[in-house]
């Protein structure tokens, strides 16, 4: 997901915000006429870390300078702006306005109560007792502008840990494959040894991984995959000419992946064995040697994501053991999104330990594993909350700095907070507290943080807090949105309801029309995405008018995270298991109905839904599986059958091998259920979800004698059909939810 926003604090209002989801640009915010002030702090830290200052841009072009004394824990104006303006006016022989002081490069001597700065091309020192100015060659206490985030120690990995391939570490042997078998030959002679004899055309050996002792090797005998191809047909290439066909390999669920069989060799004793660790048929092997060169270790994810292991092979004996062996009845979440900064396995080489991420107790937590014994030394984090990011593992202090959500029981369970904890689970320290989504900036010495937090319905708040215990030092700023509110801007409403189990909270937001009138009835559009790999309801403040392109047309727009999405308990997430058609719809529908109870203007007899990619699958599924509630859907670039989309993503949620559950969740196999109004949008050059997924849904709908609309975009990729698709999508909802027939656009051309 890519977010593009343009915000000019103190000069221009935020102009537009777009979110790119699987190639679909969704306009979330439109122009607003009000500015937001003090929404961000850019700290300038002193060299000795005794203070920092920052500048606030205020309404009507005014500015102010703020100083924070870290030793005293006091925030104040950096100086008397009027007195300093008078002093500068005397020097410049021109009026200097106190609300627009022309100064930069500030520095302070708090003991002497002086400040230095650059103004009008010269440097000055100012006695803050008398406000007498003295011209100097340079400031006495120049500070570092835009201090970088403190660098964390890099985890170094010795060369001995990296597997060698062709030439042995001592340079004596060269390994090679001939006639599908593995050989070694002395690099300075002709002595040659055949190590394997069972390789053939369909099971050829690959180059080995040498052990540091230059006598042992690990090699894999490889059975090739049987992955099919997908084709894209470009009907209207640039420059004209014939249509073009593009073909590429594309693994679908159930396809045979490349299989790697582990083999162990001892050159001196001419031994060859096959440790019974099982084949690797998902992701290629990534080996890791111990520093003494005796053991090689690797991670193994079983096809179907229900078993995860860290395996160790003794290269002196060929024996193996499982350091970690986790199994589950549903899925182990191995396909984490790239922005989830929590690897499953974090090696602590110096202490022979692993920090392991697991949901084995029902929540995503960290565990400390003893590598030598393969036993859990202790659970590091525990409780009904979710570890979201690991920011830093401090090996020396044996501490973990991380982000999590769900700990603050009186807050939205998705809000992000910062924490620190020791490896043994002791000294659990919350670094943030306020009711919002937190983003922090460390002081250069890492003793303080500037904590900025907000919600969709609350402008940013800034606090200074101590890193040692998370305590509040002082409040800094609260964003000023007076102008924004005066312009007619309203924050989305946050609403929570109970899920299908009657107790789990389901959270969403409601965006109302610009000229909202509670005496009217408004149709509802749900902006849908339920891909199980994340949660999707916005949580942070935005000065833009969310979903304005829809609300300005008279729609209420909502976004909800139902069961089956991520960042809650394992049970919450497991709802999607082998059942992507669920998409949290039972919870979503209850949420809609609960909200409507106290809001008579919220018309749940007219509910539409739209989404792209996995959201395209779900939005069509809303009409197929819940036609009693959802009446209109627009689905872009949809994955309408999980057997026709990328194997790694779909097998994570739908399971392996492919079984009847795939058909049960297939929009194609259930096309005969269609009752509502459906618009399908697909680009012929979609390189994410093959476009035949939509076209086969079309075929099934035609065979079921169903009416629907479709936009097939020549040259279009994984998206919503461009400007034409956006116009047609809006017209479709206006027609079927508002009863407004679209104009004849052809007459305007």
The answer to whether residues 32 and 50 belong to one domain is no
Q: Are 692 and 560 part of one and the same domain?
A: yes
Q: Are residues 25 and 64 in the same domain?
A: no
Residue 536 within any structural domain of the chain = yes
Q: Examine the fold and report which residue of 79, 102, 136 is the final residue of a domain before the chain moves on.
A: 136
Q: Are residues 506 and 623 in the same domain?
A: yes
Judgement on whether residues 11 and 87 belong to the same structural domain of the protein: no
- Spell 354-371 as b/e; 16+ CB within 10 A means b: bbbbbbbeebbbbbbbeb
For 154, residues 6+ apart whose C-beta sits below 8 A from its C-beta are: none
Average pLDDT (606-635) is 98
Across 717-736, average pLDDT: 97
Q: Which of 73, 72, 49, 76 is nearest to 64 (CA)?
A: 76
pLDDT of residue 18: 38
440 occurs within a structural domain: no
Mean pLDDT over 359-370 rounds to 98
Identify whether residues 108 and 241 lie together within a single domain.
Answer: no
Q: Are strands 709-713 and 677-683 parallel, antiparallel or unpaired?
A: parallel
pLDDT value, residue 291: 85
> Strand 399-405 relative to strand 386-394: parallel, antiparallel, unpaired?
antiparallel
pLDDT of 259 > 60? The answer is yes
Q: Is residue 148 part of a domain?
A: no
Please tell me whether residue 92 adopts helix, strand or coil conformation.
helix
Report d(CA 355, CA 323) in Å as an integer.
Answer: 12
Categorize the per-residue pLDDT at 159 as very low, low, confident or very high, splitting at 50, 70 and 90: very low
Classify residue 356: in a domain, yes or no. no
Please give the pLDDT value at position 142. 53
pTM beyond 0.75: the answer is: yes
Calpha distance 118→105 (Å, rounded): 6
Domain finish residue from 281, 310, 330: 330
Which residues form the domain of 690? 491-738
Residue 214 above 70 pLDDT?
Answer: yes
Mean pLDDT (whole number) for 193-200: 97
* pLDDT score of 493: 98
Question: What is the SS3 assignment for 136?
Answer: strand
* Cα distances (Å, whole numbers) of residue 277 to 311, 375, 455: 8, 19, 49
Same structural domain for residues 58 and 190? no
Statement to judge: residues 702 and 639 lie in one domain = yes
SS3 label, residue 405: strand
The structural domain count of the chain equals 4
- The answer to whether 230 touches 247, Cβ cutoff 8 Å, is yes
In three-state secondary structure terms, 516 is: coil
Structural tokens at position 336: 């984490």
Span 315-349, pLDDT tens digits:
899 899 999 999 999 999 987 655 556 789 999 99
The yes-or-no verdict on residue 114 having pLDDT over 60 is: yes
Distance, in Å, from the CA atom of 425 to the CA atom of 422, rounded to the nearest integer, reads 5
Residue 229 in tokens: 């191809």
Judge if 251 and 132 occupy the same domain.
no
- Mean per-residue pLDDT, 667-687: 98
- Do the domain assignments include residue 637? yes
Residue 258 lies in a domain: yes
Identify the helix (H) or strand (E) that includes residue 509. Answer: strand 505-511
* pLDDT at residue number 10: 32
What is the C-alpha separation between 416 and 76, in angstroms, rounded? Answer: 29
Helix 614-625 crosses helix 585-597 at what angle (to 10 degrees)? Answer: 70
DSSP 161: G
Q: Do 51 and 32 fall within a single domain? A: no
Question: Which pLDDT band holds residue 163 (cuts at 50, 70, 90)?
Answer: low
Task: Give the pair of three-digit tokens for residue 404.
Answer: 């999590």
Specify the range with the lowest mean pLDDT, choosing from 65-69, 150-154, 555-559: 150-154
What is the C-alpha separation between 548 and 8, in angstroms, rounded? Answer: 20
Do the beta carbons of residue 308 and residue 299 sit within 8 Å?
Answer: yes
* Stretch 83-96: mean pLDDT: 95
Domain limit, last residue, from 330, 350, 371: 330
- Among 681, 670, 680, 679, CA closest to 704: 670
pLDDT at 155: 45
> b or e along 318-328 (b: 16 or more beta carbons within 10 Å of the residue's beta carbon)?
bebeebbebeb
**Residue 141 predicted with pLDDT over 80:** no
Evaluate whether 605 touches 628 at the Cβ level (below 8 Å): no
244: in domain: yes
Per-residue pLDDT of 39-71, as tens digits, reads 999 999 999 999 999 999 999 999 999 999 999
Buried b (16+ CB within 10 A) or exposed e, 675-686: ebbbbbbbbbbb
Looking at residue 138, what is its pLDDT?
A: 77
Average pLDDT over residues 637-654: 97
Per the DSSP assignment, residues forming a β-bridge with 450 are 441, 464
Query: What is the CATH number for 183?
Result: 2.140.10.30
Task: Give 280's pLDDT tier (boundaries 50, 70, 90).
Answer: very high
pLDDT confidence of 377, banded at 50, 70, 90?
A: very high
Collect all residues with Cβ–Cβ distance below 8 Å to 57 and sequence separation of at least 6. Answer: 9, 10, 11, 37, 38, 63
Report the pLDDT value the prediction gives residue 36, as an integer from 0 to 100. Answer: 97
190 and 269 fall within a common domain: yes
pLDDT beyond 80 at 229: yes
Q: How many CB atoms lie within 10 A of CB 111?
A: 7
What is the average pLDDT score of the chain? 92
Distances (CA, A) of 639 to 387, 541, 611: 30, 31, 11
pLDDT > 70? residue 22: no
Same domain, 615 and 637: yes
Q: What is the pLDDT of residues 477-506, one digit of tens each?
A: 999 999 999 999 999 999 999 999 999 999
- Fill in the DSSP letter of residue 735: I
Residue 485 within any structural domain of the chain: no
């Amino acid at each position: 997901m890519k977010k593009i926003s343009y915000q000019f604090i103190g000069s221009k209002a935020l102009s537009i915000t777009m979110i790119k989801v699987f190639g679909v640009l969704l306009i979330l915010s439109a122009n607003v006429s009000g500015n937001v002030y003090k929404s961000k702090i850019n700290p300038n830290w002193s060299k000795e870390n005794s203070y920092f200052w920052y500048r606030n841009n205020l309404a009507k072009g005014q500015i102010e300078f703020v100083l924070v004394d870290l030793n005293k824990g006091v925030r104040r104006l950096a100086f008397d702006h009027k007195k300093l303006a008078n002093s500068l006016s005397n020097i410049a022989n021109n009026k200097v306005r106190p609300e627009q002081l022309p100064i930069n490069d500030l520095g302070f001597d708090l003991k002497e109560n002086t400040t230095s700065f650059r103004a009008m091309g010269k440097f000055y020192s100012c006695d803050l007792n008398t406000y007498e100015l003295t011209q100097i060659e340079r400031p006495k206490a120049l500070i570092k502008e835009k201090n970088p985030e403190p660098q964390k120690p890099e985890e170094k990995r010795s060369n001995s840990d990296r597997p060698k391939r062709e030439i042995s570490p001592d340079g004596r042997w060269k390994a090679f494959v001939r006639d599908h078998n593995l050989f070694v030959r002395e690099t300075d002679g002709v002595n040659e040894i055949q190590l394997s004899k069972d390789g053939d055309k369909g099971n050829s050996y690959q180059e080995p991984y040498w052990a540091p002792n230059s006598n042992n090797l690990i090699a894999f005998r490889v059975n090739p995959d049987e992955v099919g191809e997908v084709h894209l047909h470009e009907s209207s290439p640039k420059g004209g000419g014939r249509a073009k066909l593009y073909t590429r390999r594309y693994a679908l669920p159930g396809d045979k992946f490349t299989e790697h069989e582990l083999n162990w060799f001892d050159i001196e004793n001419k031994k060859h064995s096959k440790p019974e660790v099982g084949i690797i048929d998902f992701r290629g092997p990534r080996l890791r040697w111990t520093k003494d060169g005796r053991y090689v270790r690797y991670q193994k994810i079983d096809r179907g994501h229900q078993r995860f292991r860290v395996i160790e092979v003794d290269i002196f004996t060929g024996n193996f053991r499982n350091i970690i062996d986790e199994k589950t009845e549903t899925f182990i979440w191995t396909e984490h999104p790239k922005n989830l900064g929590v690897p499953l396995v974090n090696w602590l080489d110096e202490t022979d330990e692993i920090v392991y991420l697991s949901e084995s107790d029902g929540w995503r937590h960290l565990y400390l594993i003893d590598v030598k014994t393969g036993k859990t030394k202790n659970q590091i984090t525990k409780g009904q909350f979710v570890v979201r990011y690991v920011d830093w593992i401090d090996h020396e202090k044996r501490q973990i700095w991380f982000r999590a959500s769900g700990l603050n029981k009186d807050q939205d369970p998705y809000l992000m907070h910062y924490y620190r904890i020791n490896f043994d689970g002791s000294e659990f320290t919350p670094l943030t507290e306020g009711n919002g989504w937190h983003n922090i900036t460390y002081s250069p010495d890492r003793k303080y943080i500037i904590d900025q937090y907000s919600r969709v319905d609350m402008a940013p708040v800034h606090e200074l807090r101590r890193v040692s215990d998370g305590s509040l030092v002082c409040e800094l700023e609260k964003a000023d949105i007076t102008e924004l509110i005066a312009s007619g801007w309203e924050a989305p409403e946050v609403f929570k309801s109970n899920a299908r189990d009657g107790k789990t909270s389901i959270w969403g937001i409601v965006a109302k029309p610009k000229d909202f009138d509670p005496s009217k009835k408004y149709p509802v559009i749900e902006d849908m995405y339920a891909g199980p790999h994340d949660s999707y309801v916005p949580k942070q403040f935005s000065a833009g008018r969310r979903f304005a392109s829809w609300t300005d047309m008279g729609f209420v727009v909502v976004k909800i995270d139902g069961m089956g999405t991520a960042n809650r308990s394992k049970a919450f997430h497991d709802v999607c298991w082998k059942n992507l058609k669920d998409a949290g719809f039972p919870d979503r529908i209850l949420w809609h109905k609960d909200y409507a109870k106290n809001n008579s203007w919220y018309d749940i007899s007219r509910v539409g839904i739209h989404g792209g990619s996995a959201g395209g699958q779900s939005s069509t599924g809303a009409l197929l599986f819940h036609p009693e509630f959802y009446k209109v859907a627009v689905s872009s670039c949809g994955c309408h059958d999980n057997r026709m989309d990328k194997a790694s993503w779909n097998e994570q949620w739908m399971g392996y091998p492919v079984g009847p559950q795939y058909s049960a969740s297939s929009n194609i196999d259930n096309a005969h259920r269609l009752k509502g109004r459906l618009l399908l949008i697909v680009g012929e050059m979609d390189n994410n979800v093959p476009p035949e997924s939509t076209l086969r849904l079309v075929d099934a709908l035609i065979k079921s004698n169903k009416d629907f609309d479709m936009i097939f975009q020549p040259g279009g990729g994984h998206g919503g059909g461009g400007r034409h698709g956006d116009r047609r999508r809006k017209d479709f909802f206006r027609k079927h939810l508002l009863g407004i027939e679209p104009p004849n656009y052809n007459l305007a051309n």
